[in-house]
Amino acid sequence: MFEPMWLSPKVIRPIVGTRRFYIEGLDFQDPVAARIYRELLDFFGASQAADRQCADLVFIMNSAALPAERDGAYRIHTEGDCVCIEGNTATALLYGLYGWVRRKACGQQIDDFESVPNQALRMIDHWDQTDGSVERGYAGESIFFGVLGSNSHADFRNFPDRRQDDPFRGDLARVTAYARLLASIGINAIALNNVNVRGEAKKLIVEPYLDRVAVLADIFGQFGIRVFLSVNFASPIDVGGLSTADPLADEVSAWWEKIVDNVYQRIPAFGGFLVKADAEGEPGPMRYGRTHVDGANMLARPLSRHGGLVIWRAFVYDCNQDWRDRSLDRAKSAYENFIGLDGLFAENVVLQVKFGPIDFQVSEPANPLIGRMTHTNLMIEFQITAEYLGQQIDVNYVLPQWLAMTNWDTCAPQVDARVKAVVPKLCLVSAHTGFAGVSNVGMDDNWTGNTLAQANLYGFGRMCWDPDATAGSILDEWMTLTFPGLRGPAREAVSEIMLTSNKTFKNYTAPLGVGFMVKPGLHYGVDVNGYEYDRWGTYHFADRDGIGVDRTQSTGTGFTAQYHQALEERFEHAETTPDDLLLFFHHLPYDHVLHDGQTLIQHIYSSHFEGVKEVERYITLWKKVKGLIPQADWENVADRLQAQKADAVEWRDQINTYFHRMSGVPDRLGRKIYA
C-alpha cells in the first residue's frame, strides 16, 4: 500500500474532522465542487452543518472575492471560531481547504490570509510509457500504465474489461490519492505520458485508449487538474494512415482537427498536447521543410476552439555533434532555434524551455531564452526526477537550486527581471505560462524511491505557487506534514541533511558547472570521460594545463552573447563569473585562483574530499532520526545513504585521481589521492 506522504491522516484529520462545514454558492454539477464535498466527508471525516450559522468551516464561492488575474487564488479569514474560505472558482476553494489545513498544521497565521499563485500553469510531466516503464524513473513502474502482472502492487480490478494487452494499470485508488496530493500543493496540469511517444502510446489520442484516458482525466478533473497527452508529430501517418505529417498539408490539419474534436467530446476539460518535435530523433515539422511555428500553430488551431494548449518543447539540439569541432556549442541551441520565431506562435502555444541551456545539471546558468523571448508564452521545465542528481539514491533536496533558478535575474529591462517574474510578464497570455516539473513518482510504496525525495515533489508544487518561499520554509512544512513525530535534534538532523544535500552532491560530482562526467546512458555514477568524445555536445576539455568550456565571445563559442548585456558582461570574464559556473563559461588553468582564494585544482580536490565527509556526516545524523519516523522510511533512507557514500567515494577518487594524473599538482593538504 502507498504512503500518505504529506497528507498524513494523523496530522490533518484532527484539524478538519472536528468541524461542521457549510458550502455556499457552489454548483455541485461542477466535479470540483462535488469533490470538495466528498473530501470533507470521506477523506477528512468532517460533518455537514445544517446551515451557515451552526457551521465552523464555511466555503464561499464569490467570483468577485479576488482579482481574476490569477485563477486559483483564495482568501481565509476567521469569524470567531469559524473559518471562512473564499475563492472565485471551485478549484480555488479546494486549494483554500488544503492551504488552510497546511497552514494550521504548520502553525502559520491563518486569519485574513490571501494566497495568490505565482505561476498560472503548474504542471507535472510524466515520462511514463505504455509498457509500464518510466524514462528516467527511479521509483518503480508507472502508476498509470503497465503490462498485466508486471508490478506486484498493481490493482487491476478497476477496469473490469481489462484485456491482456491493455496498457492501463487501472489502479484508480492510487491515481485518486495522487491527484489529491498534487491538488494540495497547487498543481493544475499533468501530462500522462512520455514526450518520446512510441509504440502504443501513439494511440492514446484515439479509442479505445482514449476512453481509458478519460477515466484518469475525470479523476484529475475533480481536483482541478487538466490532463494533457504527449503526442507524436508523425501521428497522422502512424495512427491516421496518411502518407505525410506535413503541417501545411490540408489533410494533415484536417486529421488533427478531427482528433482534437473527438478528444474534447470525450474529455471536455482536456488540457492539450505536449510535443517533443525535431529533437533527439523524434519527428517534427522540419522533416517537411516547415518551422516549429508551422507545426505548433497547426496543432494550436483546433485546440484553441476548445480552450486547449500546445506545449512545444524547446529542447532541440544537434545530438550528433562532432567532439572534434570546438566551435560547436550545444548550449546555444535553444536560443538559436527559437529566438527568431518570437512573436510568431499562436496565443495558445506555450514554449517549454528547460531551466538551463544544457540538461538539468546540478550547476547551470539560466536558459538565455528566458527574458529574451518576450512575445511567446514560456513554461520553464524542471526535473523533479533526479536523473542527473543522484537518481533518488543520493539524497538531494533540490529546492535551493530551483529557487536560485526562479530568482535568477535575467537582466531584462524590467522592474523585476527575475525568472519567476518575467515568465508570466513577458508573454502573449499570462495564463498560458508557468513551470513544469518532470515527475519522480512510481509504484513504490513511498512513491519516490527515496522517501526524502517526496520533498522535491512537494517543493515543486509549493515553488510554483510561491517562489518567494525559502527552501527552508518549504522543507519545514514538508517535515511537519509528513513526519509529525519528528522533533528536536532529529528534526534538526533531517533539516541539516536536506538543506546541504544539493551542495554536497555538487561537491562530489563534476566541478564548477562543467557538468556531465557521468556514466553514459545511465547518468548515475562517475565517468569523467563518459561523454568527452561522444556526440552529445557535453564536454569538459580537460588537458594537462586546464579544464572548462570557453563560451566567451572573445575566445570561445560566443554563447555569452545570448544573454542581456549585464549578464553577458558578467559571464564574459572569469573574474566576474560566479565560481559555481566558472567552468561552464571558461577554460582555465589549474592554478587559476577562485573567488575563495583557492586554486582551481585545489578546489577540485577539496570539494571532493568535503563531499564525501558530508555524506559520512549524514549517516551519523540519520541515526538520530531512528524511531521518530516509520521504520520502513528510516531504513529506506539509511540503506540509500550507504549507497550514496559508495557513490561519493567513487566520484571523489576518480575525479581526484584523474585530475592529479592530468595536472601533476599534489593536494596542498596531503590527503590521499590514488596514483
Question: In the complex, what is the shortest distance from the CB of residue 606 to a copy of itself, in angstroms, rounded to a whole number?
Answer: 19
Catalytic residue status for 250: no
Cβ–Cβ contacts within 10 Å for residue 130, how many?
24
Whose CA is closest to 527, among 536, 535, 519? 519
- Based on CB atoms, which residue is closest to a copy of itself, 581 or 662? 662
Question: Is 359 noted as a catalytic residue in this protein?
Answer: yes
DSSP 119: -
Among candidate residues 166, 387, 477, 572, the one labeled active-site is: 387
Torsion of Cα atoms, 200 then 197 then 210 then 384, to 10°:
120
Place of cell 582551481: 600
Residues 654-673 binding a copy of itself (CB under 8 A) are 654, 657-658, 660-664
Residue 528 in the binding site for a copy of itself (CB under 8 A)? yes
Sign of torsion over alpha carbons 527, 528, 532, 536: positive
Q: Are 144 and 158 in contact (CB under 8 A)?
A: no
Nearer to a copy of itself, 488 or 521 (CB): 521
> Per CB under 8 A, which of residues 373..412 are in contact with a copy of itself?
none
d(CA 202, CA 184): 31
State which of positions 478-517 bind a copy of itself (CB under 8 A). Answer: none
Known active-site residue 532: no
Nearer to a copy of itself, 66 or 648 (CB): 648
Nearest distance from C-beta of residue 600 to a copy of itself, angstroms: 16
Nearer to a copy of itself, 163 or 544 (CB): 544
Q: Which of 359, 368, 361, 360 is nearest to 336 (CA)?
A: 368
- The Cα 227–Cα 215 span in angstroms is 11
Q: How far is the CB of 544 from a copy of itself (least distance, A)?
A: 4
**268 to 327, contacts with a copy of itself by CB under 8 A?**
323-324, 326
Which residue among 69, 211, 545, 591 contacts a copy of itself (CB under 8 A)?
A: 545
- Residue 193: HSE in the Cβ half-sphere, 13 Å Cα cutoff: 30
Q: What is the DSSP string of 502-558?
A: HHHHHHHSS-TT----B-TTT--SB-TTTTTTSSSS------SSEE-----TTTS--
User: Which lies closer to a copy of itself via its Cβ, residue 495 or residue 657?
Assistant: 657
In the complex with a copy of itself, the residue whose CB is nearer, 47 or 529, is 529
59 φ/ψ angles, rounded to the nearest 5 degrees: -105, 125
Q: Which of 111, 161, 320, 544 binds a copy of itself (CB under 8 A)?
A: 544
Query: How many CA atoms are closer than 13 Å to the CA of 506, on its beta-carbon side?
Result: 21
Judged by beta carbon, residue 610 or residue 650, the one nearer a copy of itself is 650
Q: C-beta of 657: minimal distance to a copy of itself in Å? A: 8
Q: Which residue of the set 359, 394, 550, 647 is catalytic?
A: 359
What span, in angstroms and rounded, lies between the C-alpha atoms of 164 and 147? 8
189, 316, 542, 601: residue in contact with a copy of itself (rule CB under 8 A): 542
Report the chain's C-alpha Rg in angstroms.
25
CB of 558 to a copy of itself, least distance (A): 17
- Nearer to a copy of itself by Cβ, of 37 and 541: the residue is 541
- Residue 423: its H or E element: helix 419-425
Task: For residue 206, give the DSSP letter.
Answer: S
Minimum CB separation of residue 325 from a copy of itself in Å reads 8
Nearest approach, Cβ of 551 to a copy of itself (angstroms)? 16
47, 196, 430, 529: residue in contact with a copy of itself (rule CB under 8 A): 529
Under the binding rule (CB under 8 A), the answer on residue 612 touching a copy of itself is no
Q: How far apart are the first and last CA of the chain?
A: 49
Binding mask 624-653 for a copy of itself (x = CB under 8 A): --------------------------x--x
φ/ψ (deg, to 5) at 323: -60, -20
Q: Which stretch binds a copy of itself (CB under 8 A): 31-39, 207-215, 311-319, 538-546?
A: 538-546
CB of 653 to a copy of itself, least distance (A): 6
Q: How many residues bind a copy of itself (CB under 8 A)?
A: 25
Which of the ranges 327-335, 362-370, 387-395, 543-551 carries the binding residues for a copy of itself, by CB under 8 A?
543-551
- Whether omega for the bond prior to residue 208 falls within 30 degrees of 0, making it cis, is yes
Least Å distance, CB 8 to a copy of itself, is 43
Q: What is the dihedral of CA 20, 26, 29, 31, to 10 degrees?
A: -70
Distance CA 37, CA 381 (A): 34
Residues that bind a copy of itself in the complex, under the rule CB under 8 A: 323-324, 326, 526-529, 533, 541-545, 650, 653-654, 657-658, 660-664, 674-675
Which positions are annotated as active-site residues?
280, 359, 387
